């Protein structure tokens, strides 16, 4: 293939940036899409085009682009106190106020809040704190952590080990052997003929029970879950699933760590995904929409019982030797506080419930499309899975690159989506999206889908 004609900024990019999560062969042909600015649910490229950002960036820009109140909150905090830490007995008002607010909002009893900067750091901190708590209780054998096939919990050494997608392990010498794998709850693909969602959930809970007994309950510290699995395919759980799983963990004294990095703050129509799916965790990871992604910040919310155990141990050994320079960074905390205030003042989660029906109807209507096997979602998150044969549900050969083609065609049509494993295409727009914008999103998306179908026919794939 001939060398692509790249703009100056694209050439600078290609010479300097190591691109993650990117097909580098394809990138060398096309160059990157350089985004210059954003407003509302749209971003604008250096190519002069507007793009409806149907992924809210990376499942995170909940208030959309150009939210002036967040800019002001950051600027004011920068002027007043751009940095302060919470090591060695120091503290500051934005950090305290944010921890208080999160305790108040949390859907389960929270003793204290630990801050970090990313979802991966929050989940790494969770793993360390689970081990710390188990050791403190004299249960030193509890080292294993259960995570599910196709889970996504991040990319740091420990969180990537929990991530249940091979691509994140290959050539990295991962996963570490503390991870044990439970099944991914994907009703469309894995339910047996005639099995109801409830029966499928009960079967998965039974399988989890058997896994725990096989491994030995005393060897397991915790299980991580996402209410809706994000990067693993935007998979909504079958009815009754989370309740059934939580009951099994409870039986064996295994902590439930709820990774709400995507689902937290309105995504599923309630403040937290665990409220939509009716389960109570022992601890929770949050990030992304906590600050509408305007600045990096994440947090771990811990039950009072866990806090008591952890603080007793920290007292005994002379301190909790775990935190980051930027834990509770005052600028990030101020922006997060303002974000939470906006959610409340504008009833953003109520807005999600209101527009979700239009979003879900348009999504469900795609089931009639010749390429679409599954189209499913909740609130303002969802996905389609493109299949080679709708009747047998056969996937395309991964090498055919159908998902990637759909991503490209959608981008050509002015809508940014995310191709995931098994030709699943995720949608997760900013929570502030209006009904008219949802219409525009799906109009563009359908044009992308039709182009993908034409291309797949031309390639002899269907
Ligand atoms: C559920 C979940 N957990 C953890 C992470 C990791 O977050 P980060 O990329 O901020 O490290 C992500 C990122 O998408 C996620 O979706």
What is the average per-residue pLDDT within 125-142?
A: 97
Is residue 163 assigned to a domain?
Answer: yes
CA distance 421 to 385: 9
CA distance 264 to 289: 7
- Secondary structure (3-state) at 317: helix
Task: Supply the pLDDT for residue 46.
Answer: 86
Edge-to-edge strands, sheet with 179-182? 112-116, 298-302, 283-286, 255-259, 220-225, 144-148, 179-182
CA distance 151 to 341: 31
d(CA 153, ligand 1 centre) in Å: 6
Neighbours of 258 (CB within 10 A): 30
Q: What is the pLDDT of residues 313-340, one digit of tens each?
A: 999 999 999 999 999 999 999 999 999 9
Whether residue 322 is found in the same domain as residue 365: no
Closest atom of ligand 1 to 58 CA is 14
Is residue 368 assigned to a domain?
Answer: yes
Closest atom of ligand 1 to 296 CA is 10
Residue nearest to atom 1 of ligand 1 (CA): 261
Whether residue 163 is found in the same domain as residue 117: yes
Whether residue 276 is found in the same domain as residue 352: no
**160 ligand 1 Cβ < 6 A:** no
**296 ligand 1 Cβ < 6 A:** no
Is residue 242 assigned to a domain?
Answer: yes
What is the average per-residue pLDDT within 398-424?
A: 97
d(CA 63, ligand 1 centre) in Å: 18
**259 ligand 1 Cβ < 6 A:** yes
Residue nearest to atom 3 of ligand 1 (CA): 153
Name the residue of 230, 237, 261 to mutate for ligand 1: max ligand atoms within 8 A of Cβ.
Answer: 261
**119 ligand 1 Cβ < 6 A:** yes
Q: What is the dihedral of CA 187, 227, 211, 185, to 10 degrees?
A: 10
Whether residue 213 is found in the same domain as residue 287: yes
What is the average per-residue pLDDT within 406-425?
A: 97
Is residue 403 assigned to a domain?
Answer: yes
Is residue 172 assigned to a domain?
Answer: yes
**260 ligand 1 Cβ < 6 A:** no
Any idea what the CATH number is for the domain that residue 91 is in?
Answer: 3.40.640.10
d(CA 233, ligand 1 centre) in Å: 13
Confidence of residue 4 (pLDDT cuts 50, 70, 90): low
Whether residue 166 is found in the same domain as residue 269: yes
Model confidence at 1: pLDDT above 70: no
Q: What is the pLDDT of residues 295-314, one digit of tens each?
A: 999 999 999 999 999 999 99
Confidence of residue 223 (pLDDT cuts 50, 70, 90): very high
Which stretches of 366-429 are DSSP H helices? 402-412
What is the average per-residue pLDDT within 366-371?
A: 98
CA distance 265 to 217: 33
Is residue 28 assigned to a domain?
Answer: no
Whether residue 302 is found in the same domain as residue 359: no
Contacts of 401 (CB under 8 A, 6+ apart): none
What is the average per-residue pLDDT within 343-359?
A: 98
Whether residue 262 is found in the same domain as residue 155: yes
Model confidence at 376: pLDDT above 90: yes
Q: What is the pLDDT of residues 58-73, one digit of tens each?
A: 999 999 999 999 999 9
What is the average per-residue pLDDT within 71-95?
A: 98
Q: Give me the number of domains the chain comprises.
A: 2
Q: What is the pLDDT of residues 197-220, one digit of tens each?
A: 999 999 999 999 999 999 999 999
d(CA 378, ligand 1 centre) in Å: 19
**261 ligand 1 Cβ < 6 A:** yes
Q: What is the pLDDT of residues 8-63, one digit of tens each?
A: 999 999 999 999 999 898 898 889 999 999 999 999 998 899 999 999 999 999 99
Edge-to-edge strands, sheet with 50-53? 35-39, 42-45, 50-53, 415-416
Model confidence at 3: pLDDT above 80: no
Confidence of residue 176 (pLDDT cuts 50, 70, 90): very high
Strands (E), 287-363: 298-302
Neighbours of 7 (CB within 10 A): 13
**110 ligand 1 Cβ < 6 A:** no
d(CA 227, ligand 1 centre) in Å: 13
CA distance 396 to 373: 11
Closest atom of ligand 1 to 119 CA is 7
Q: Which of 279, 310, 345 is the last residue of a domain?
A: 345
d(CA 179, ligand 1 centre) in Å: 18
Whether residue 184 is found in the same domain as residue 268: yes
Whether residue 254 is found in the same domain as residue 132: yes
CA distance 102 to 113: 8
Which structural domain range is residue 404 located in? Answer: 33-66+347-458
Task: Supply the pLDDT for residue 2.
Answer: 55
Task: Supply the pLDDT for residue 225.
Answer: 98
d(CA 392, ligand 1 centre) in Å: 33
Task: Supply the pLDDT for residue 47.
Answer: 87
**152 ligand 1 Cβ < 6 A:** yes
């Amino acid at each position: 293939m001939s060398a692509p004609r790249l703009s100056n900024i694209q050439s600078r990019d290609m010479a300097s940036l190591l691109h993650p999560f990117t097909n580098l062969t394809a990138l060398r042909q096309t160059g990157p899409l350089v985004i210059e600015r954003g407003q509302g649910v749209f971003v604008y490229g250096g190519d002069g085009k507007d793009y409806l950002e149907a992924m809210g960036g990376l499942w995170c820009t909940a208030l959309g682009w150009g939210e002036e109140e967040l800019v002001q909150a950051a600027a004011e905090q920068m002027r007043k106190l751009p940095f302060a830490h919470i090591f060695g007995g120091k503290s500051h008002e934005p950090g305290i106020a944010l921890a208080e607010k999160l305790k108040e909002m949390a859907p389960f009893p929270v003793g204290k809040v630990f801050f970090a900067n990313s979802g991966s750091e929050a989940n790494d901190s969770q793993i360390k704190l689970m081990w710390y708590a188990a050791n403190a209780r004299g249960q030193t054998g509890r080292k294993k952590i259960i995570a599910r096939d196709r889970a996504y919990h991040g990319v740091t050494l420990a969180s990537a080990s929990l991530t249940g997608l091979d691509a994140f392990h290959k050539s990295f010498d991962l996963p570490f052997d503390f991870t044990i794998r439970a099944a991914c709850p994907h009703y469309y693909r894995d339910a047996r003929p005639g099995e109801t969602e409830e029966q499928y959930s009960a079967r998965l809970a039974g399988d989890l029970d058997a896994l725990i007994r096989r491994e030995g309950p005393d060897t397991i510290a915790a299980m991580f879950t996402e209410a809706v699995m994000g990067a693993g395919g935007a998979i909504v759980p079958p009815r009754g699933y989370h309740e059934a799983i939580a009951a099994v963990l409870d039986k064996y004294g295994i902590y439930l760590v709820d990774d709400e990095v995507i689902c937290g703050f309105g995504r599923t129509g309630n403040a937290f995904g665990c409220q939509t799916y009716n389960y109570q965790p022992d601890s929770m990871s949050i990030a992304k929409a906590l600050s509408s992604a305007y600045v990096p910040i994440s947090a771990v919310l811990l039950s009072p019982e866990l806090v008591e155990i952890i603080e007793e141990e920290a007292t005994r050994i002379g301190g909790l030797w775990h935190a980051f320079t930027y834990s509770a960074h005052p600028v990030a905390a101020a922006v997060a506080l303002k974000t939470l205030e906006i959610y409340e003042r504008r009833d953003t989660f109520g807005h999600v419930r209101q527009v979700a029906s239009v979003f879900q109807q348009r999504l469900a209507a795609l089931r009639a499309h010749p390429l679409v096997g599954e189209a499913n979602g909740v609130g303002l998150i969802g996905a389609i899975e493109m299949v080679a044969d709708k009747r047998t549900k056969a996937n395309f050969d991964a090498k055919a690159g159908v998902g990637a083609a759909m991503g490209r065609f959608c981008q050509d049509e002015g809508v940014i989506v995310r191709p995931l494993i098994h030709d699943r295409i995720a949608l997760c727009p900013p929570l502030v999206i209006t009904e008219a914008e949802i219409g525009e999103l799906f109009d563009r998306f359908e044009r992308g889908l039709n182009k993908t179908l034409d291309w797949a026919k031309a390639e002899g794939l269907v």
